[in-house]
Structure 1
Amino acid sequence: MSERQSREERAAALRALLQKVQVAECWQPLDPSSYIDVAVRRWTSSGRRIKPSKRTPENQIRDLLRGFREAQSEEDLIYGEPGWLEHLAERFGAALLAADQADETAAPPSR
């Protein structure tokens, strides 16, 4: 399996996970579907923006929130509920952190 395939498979698994979070939360009227791709892209590339010594769950979620804010359209700003993006970043971040921890425990130890 190539590295690209494994990244694509990981991204697909994260998208599916975030869609489950969306369904479980019954989010309406603000639909986070458009933010799922942003979250996956931002989460999988956070290593380039966050130094290893600063890589904490709080900084990862903060980076996720920054990505959501950058992806917002003007229409979202007008109709967005206060605190919506913070809530979205916390819920998606928690799910993504749990997925990362599950992957770490399932991975065989490296030599």
Structure 2
Amino acid sequence: MSAPGPARRTYPGAHLPICATCGTQYAGPRPDCPVCQDERRYVPDAGRQWTTLAELQAAGHTAKFAEHGRDVLGIGTTGPTTRPLATAEPLAPSPLLAATGIA
């Protein structure tokens, strides 16, 4: 018998809709994504798609944090594909969080 993996946290918002193109999560179902309404945003040929945190977790996606230097933290995801959300747009650099000491 193999050892159990890390316990998954259950979040109150795990079933709230997430735009599969930009990754923005909303407080409830909606017909559009205001972020993706911008004409400069890529929209897949299949049209707008939605997912939830629960669906992403069930598919094996997890959060990933990696240090990129002193006070610089990379924030991303890992999972069964290189792109956790259902788009064909190229991967962007991972978001970085930098501690500046400015309050």
Higher helix share: 1
**Same fold? TM cut 0.5:** no
Higher share of residues assigned strand: 2
- Whichever of the two has the greater Rg, that structure is 2
TM-score (norm 2): 0.32
Greater relative contact order, per chain length (Cα 8 Å cut-off, separation 6+):
1
